[in-house]
């Protein structure tokens, strides 16, 4: 398992074009001319615009020629080849069945599109304009009549309604649970106008962008091919995006082909984007094998996730000869929230003192120096690397939010600084932390027996299984396990294959796993999928099974915030409370992308803060590729 990021280290569609079920509103506003939406002439009180923003005015005016961070003159053509770990057995990413292939949502577009340089802004893609009242109780999307699915058939408002209804009926359980609470319904007003009405009592701040970001599927294709949305399939559903599937060999490789007949090539929002004729992804079961394959030219762009390899491994001949470039590129995103996660459904983790004791035994400082060449920083907050992270004691604005919840919260939320991940010394086993952890377990009633193992009053051994699906993470888990055993915990690691990992995660059959708790700079309804009590036993995101009345009420406060200032203090209060539960042992992050590539690709001089954009706005340089081919560096 790569040490920096557990999920497959391949460029994801969500990196560059947030859409679909997991779409999050990304970014931070950059200096630019802002424009406000205009009042509609044909509807009293309605606003008609080319986009929508949560709080601020839109960065891009209605007549913008292209996004600020792309090269509008980028050449189109060539291939980009990437890598991924593990395997896949499905090209349907919107169901819990099967393991979806990388980039398998690339076929689908949405009414609105977020950008990689703004916070909380979405712009028309399939729609021409949208209209909504000031209270955002509903939204009408006026669609482009020229939009076509990849088979040339029209995309209409009826497809939009069908897509919403199939997601509501058969989509990911946690998503459809929240969606049903938010949206009253969708209706096609005619072939090219669709209206979403939102439920009373739910904050509507983000809802037009939410429904505008849903993926759109062809109803005709779905019904004519007798598809079942809840079943995995190697045959993707029909979408309208610029790429179609060329081939997919389960567990081995995927290739996507750019559609020359794509309907939207001339749109301003598409200029300088989707430049490659072909996107190829090669799968590897072993991390080291994947690196050796890159060195040999089996694929040509590598996002590195292993610090030791980045620091010491990039000295092979192709790099020495200048055929491969190795670059650190800025990353302005939030930290991923990568952490060891407790399964709170397990009885041994019910006592917070147990969770705190276990967290004390992970030595980040030693791991960072001994294993990662000192290249990482520690995660402390769910909103690490942003101003949304709680810090120190709560200020007056936070206290005003937290005070009504005092009976539901631990006293230290009010009296102590926000919980920070524990620090350790330079030795693998920090004896000070060992003493603190021992005292906590003693207090919690887990006494050391004659065999050195801790048991409770019922004689149950304190046992913890670390579930792991990749050899690359062994060297990180094993020292943690060793430290825990010194504490008297019967800790051990179980290696499983990716399919087993997926099945056990989805059935919550684990003690501890490594996963990412990904937040947004503009927290939206996805926070209920991660932390809401109602989704604790159905969510693919709330893996820890958190149930907290206080957190539920804070989630509602965050979603109801009506200004950036309100959102800032509400999110800090939520972050402070979440950290007080200690249901995670936070790991590490970095604020750069580590990228190596054969020198035949180009990218803008200034990248947007929230996307690397490998398959979005990078491009292929045919002359440099021919020079590499002539030198024998590539075939």
Tokens of 141: 């999307």
Instruction: Parse the chain into domains and list their residue ranges.
Output: 13-60+88-224, 243-333+591-630, 338-589
Report yes or no: 62 and 52 within 8 Å, Cβ to Cβ: no
Q: What is the pLDDT of residue 17?
A: 31
The mean per-residue pLDDT over the stretch 146-161 comes to 98
**Angle in degrees, 0-180, between the axes of helices 352-360 and 431-443, rounded to the nearest 10:** 170
Q: What is the pLDDT of residue 38?
A: 43
Q: What is the pLDDT of residue 41?
A: 39
Report yes or no: 192 and 143 within 8 Å, Cβ to Cβ: yes
- Quickly tell me which residue has 């005292």 as its tokens: 439
pLDDT band of 535, cuts 50, 70, 90: confident
Instruction: Round to whole Å and give the CA distance between 65 and 60.
Output: 9
Residues 6+ apart with CB under 8 A from 201: none
Tokens of 295: 């060195």
pLDDT band of 2, cuts 50, 70, 90: very low
Report yes or no: 441 and 353 within 8 Å, Cβ to Cβ: yes
Q: What is the pLDDT of residue 201?
A: 87
* CATH H-level superfamily of 338-589: Dipeptide-binding Protein; Domain 3 (3.10.105.10)
Instruction: Round to whole Å and give the CA distance between 354 and 359.
Output: 9
Which ranges of 332-394 does DSSP label H, i.e. alpha helix? 352-360, 364-372
Q: What is the pLDDT of residues 458-482, one digit of tens each?
A: 999 999 999 999 888 999 999 999 9
What angle (nearest 5°) sits at the alpha carbon of residue 625, between those of residues 621 and 631?
Answer: 155
Q: What is the pLDDT of residue 90?
A: 95
Query: Is residue 10's pLDDT more than 90?
Result: no
**Class of domain 13-60+88-224 (CATH, top level):** alpha beta
Same fold across 13-60+88-224 and 243-333+591-630: yes
- Quickly tell me which residue has 């099974």 as its tokens: 545
Residues 6+ apart with CB under 8 A from 463: 348, 489, 490, 491, 511
Concatenated DSSP letters for 517-548? Answer: ----SS--THHHHHH-GGGTTT-SS-TT----
Which ranges of 241-374 does DSSP label H, i.e. alpha helix? 287-295, 307-312, 317-320, 352-360, 364-372
Residues 6+ apart with CB under 8 A from 458: none
pTM of the model: 0.85
Instruction: Round to whole Å and give the CA distance between 83 and 300.
Output: 9
Instruction: Round to whole Å and give the CA distance between 205 and 8.
Output: 33
Q: What is the pLDDT of residue 22?
A: 31
- DSSP SS3 for 203: coil
| Cα-to-chain-centroid distance, residue 314 | 28
Q: What is the pLDDT of residue 544?
A: 97
57: left (phi over 0), alpha (psi -120 to 50) or beta: beta
Report yes or no: 90 and 98 within 8 Å, Cβ to Cβ: yes
Q: What is the pLDDT of residues 12-29, one digit of tens each?
A: 222 223 333 333 322 322
Residues 6+ apart with CB under 8 A from 411: none
CATH of domain 243-333+591-630: 3.40.190.10
Q: What is the pLDDT of residues 84-134, one digit of tens each?
A: 998 899 999 998 888 999 999 999 999 999 999 999 999 999 999 999 999
Query: Is residue 37's pLDDT more than 70?
Result: no
> By C-alpha distance, which of 39, 7, 18, 76 is closest to 619?
76
Query: Is residue 393's pLDDT more than 60?
Result: yes
Q: Report in angstroms the alpha-carbon separations of 34 from 31, 59, 450.
A: 9, 4, 70
Instruction: Round to whole Å and give the CA distance between 233 and 236.
Output: 7
């Amino acid at each position: 398992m790569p040490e920096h990021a557990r999920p497959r280290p391949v460029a994801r569609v969500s990196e560059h074009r947030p859409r679909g079920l997991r779409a999050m509103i990304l970014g931070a506003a950059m200096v630019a001319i802002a424009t406000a939406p205009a009042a509609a002439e044909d509807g009293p009180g309605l606003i008609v615009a080319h986009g929508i923003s949560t709080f601020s005015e839109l960065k891009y005016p209605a007549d913008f020629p292209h996004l600020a961070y792309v090269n509008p003159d980028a050449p189109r053509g060539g291939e980009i080849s990437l890598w991924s770990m593990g395997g896949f057995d499905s090209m349907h990413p919107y169901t819990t069945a099967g393991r979806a292939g990388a980039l398998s949502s690339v076929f689908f577009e949405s009414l609105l599109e977020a950008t990689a340089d703004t916070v909380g802004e979405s712009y028309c893609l399939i729609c021409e304009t949208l209209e909504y009242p000031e209270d955002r109780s509903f939204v009408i999307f006026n669609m482009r009549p020229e939009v076509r699915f990849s088979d040339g058939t029209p995309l209409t408002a009826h497809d939009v309604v069908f897509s919403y209804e199939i997601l509501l009926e058969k989509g990911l359980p946690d998503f459809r649970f929240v969606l049903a609470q938010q949206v009253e319904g969708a209706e096609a007003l005619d072939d090219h106008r669709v209206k979403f009405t939102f439920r009373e009592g739910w904050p509507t701040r983000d809802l037009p962008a939410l429904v505008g970001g849903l993926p759109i599927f062809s109803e005709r294709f779905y019904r004519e091919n007798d598809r079942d949305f809840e079943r995995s399939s190697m045959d993707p559903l029909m979408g309208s995006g610029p790429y179609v599937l060329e081939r997919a060999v389960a567990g081995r490789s995927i290739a996507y082909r750019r559609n020359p007949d794509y309907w939207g090539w001339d749109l301003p929002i598409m200029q300088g984007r989707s430049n490659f004729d072909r996107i190829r992804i090669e799968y590897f079961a072993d991390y080291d094998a994947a690196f050796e394959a890159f060195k040999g030219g089996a694929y040509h762009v590598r996002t590195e996730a292993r610090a030791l390899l980045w620091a010491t491994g990039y000295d092979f001949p192709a790099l020495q000869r200048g055929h491969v470039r190795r670059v650190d590129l800025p990353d302005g995103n939030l930290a991923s929230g990568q952490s060891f996660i407790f399964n709170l459904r397990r009885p041994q983790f019910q006592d917070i003192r147990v969770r705190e004791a276990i967290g004390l035994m992970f030595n980040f400082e030693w791991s960072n120096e001994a294993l990662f060449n000192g290249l990482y920083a520690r995660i402390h907050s769910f909103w690490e690397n942003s101003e949304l992270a709680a810090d120190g004691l709560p200020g007056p604005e936070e206290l005003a939010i937290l005070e009504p919840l005092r009976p539901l919260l631990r006293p230290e939320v009010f009296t102590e600084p926000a919980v920070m991940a524990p620090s350790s010394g330079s030795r693998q086993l920090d004896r000070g932390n060992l003493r603190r952890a021992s005292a906590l377990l003693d207090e919690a009633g887990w006494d050391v027996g004659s065999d050195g193992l801790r048991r409770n009053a019922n004689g149950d051994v304190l046992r913890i299984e670390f579930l792991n699906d990749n050899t690359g993470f062994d060297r990180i888990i094993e020292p943690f396990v060793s430290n825990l055993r010194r504490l008297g915990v019967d800790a051990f690691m179980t290696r499983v294959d990716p399919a087993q990992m997926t099945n056990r995660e989805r059935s919550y059959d684990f003690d501890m796993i490594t996963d990412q708790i990904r937040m947004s700079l503009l927290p939206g309804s996805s926070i209920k999928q991660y932390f809401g009590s109602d989704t604790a036993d159905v969510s693919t995101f709330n893996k820890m099974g958190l149930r907290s009345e206080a957190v539920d009420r804070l989630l509602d406060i965050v979603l109801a915030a009506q200004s950036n200032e309100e959102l800032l203090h509400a999110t800090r209060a939520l972050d402070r409370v979440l950290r007080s539960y200690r249901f995670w042992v936070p790991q590490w992050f970095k604020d750069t992308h580590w990228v190596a590539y054969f020198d035949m690709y180009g990218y803008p001089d200034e990248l947007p803060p929230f996307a690397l954009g490998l398959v979005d706005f990078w491009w292929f340089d045919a002359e440099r590729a021919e020079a590499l081919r002539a030198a024998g560096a590539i075939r």
